[in-house]
């Protein structure tokens, strides 16, 4: 009424004052809106058509390692507070676009180009969604972020061929490393098994030699014991032949 918000009505039958005293504004709070960055969709469907114009001023972002990534993303949002949406910000849609570009640029700037182009896309989208919602609430836009999706992330067109070559080289490096580990895992257990077998054989041979040596030592001790007993006056073996004559001659010489 007279440029002021007087009430907010839920869906159903309602009345307003005539003659321009009151004006009703329908706000589609259940509708999901979409903002595209780095590209524009002309017609969605089975064969989606895109605008061929260049939107690189939105999508070319500087990474933390001073490389450039071409990032296309989509923000889906809803109107959660009609009054705030209508009266607190002059252009909520443009505000969302400006804030989204600012947040995305900052988050991309905190990460390497490898993270942005490969493993970090889901995490980046989640962080952007969180920070964007905080700013939208701070500026009282009345908007609620439903999702942030990184649609397409590539190196700039001018360096795409070189980047792909580097990426292929890294993949080849990983392949060779994996093959080397596979060969290592196949050969090392076999070598360890062969070494264990050789060690076991050597230990068995050593044990055999020790046992043989101990047996020989015991045999020598027994023989020595027998000889020592004979020298102390115990019966000695009978001598015959030339040995007996030599022994008798020796006795006679001793008697003289």
90-115 per-position pLDDT tens digit: 999 999 999 999 999 999 999 999 89
Written out in words, the top-level CATH class of the domain with range 33-153 is alpha beta
Give the SS3 label for residue 130: helix
Residue pLDDT, tens place only, 132-185:
999 999 999 999 999 999 999 998 877 777 777 877 887 888 888 888 888 888
Q: Who's near 34: CB < 8 A, 6+ residues apart?
A: 74, 75, 76, 77
For the whole model, what pTM was predicted? Answer: 0.62
Cβ pair 30, 23 in contact under 8 A: no
Which DSSP category does 142 fall into? -
Q: Who's near 56: CB < 8 A, 6+ residues apart?
A: 38, 70, 156
Which DSSP category does 189 fall into? H
């Amino acid at each position: 009424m007279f440029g002021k918000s007087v009430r907010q009505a839920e869906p159903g039958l309602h009345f307003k004052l005539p003659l321009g005293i009151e004006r009703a504004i329908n706000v589609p709070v259940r509708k999901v809106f979409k903002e595209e960055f780095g590209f524009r969709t002309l017609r969605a469907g089975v064969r989606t058509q895109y605008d061929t114009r260049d939107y690189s001023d939105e999508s070319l972002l500087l990474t933390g390692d001073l490389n450039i990534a071409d990032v296309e993303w989509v923000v889906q949002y809803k109107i959660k507070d009609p009054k705030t949406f209508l009266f607190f910000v002059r252009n909520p849609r443009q505000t969302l676009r400006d804030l989204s570009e600012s947040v995305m640029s900052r988050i991309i700037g905190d990460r390497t180009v490898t993270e942005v182009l490969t493993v970090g896309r889901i995490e980046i989208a989640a962080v952007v969604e969180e920070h964007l919602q905080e700013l939208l609430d701070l500026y009282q836009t009345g908007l609620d972020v439903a999702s942030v999706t990184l649609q397409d992330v590539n190196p700039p067109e001018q360096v795409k061929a070189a980047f792909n070559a580097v990426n292929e080289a890294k993949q080849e490096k990983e392949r060779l490393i994996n093959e080397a580990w596979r060969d290592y895992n196949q050969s090392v257990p076999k070598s360890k098994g062969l070494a264990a077998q050789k060690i076991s054989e050597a230990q068995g041979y050593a044990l055999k030699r020790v046992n043989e040596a101990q047996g020989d030592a015991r045999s020598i001790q027994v023989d020595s014991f027998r000889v020592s007993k004979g020298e102390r006056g115990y019966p000695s073996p009978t001598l015959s032949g030339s040995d007996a004559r030599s022994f008798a001659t020796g006795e006679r010489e001793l008697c003289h």
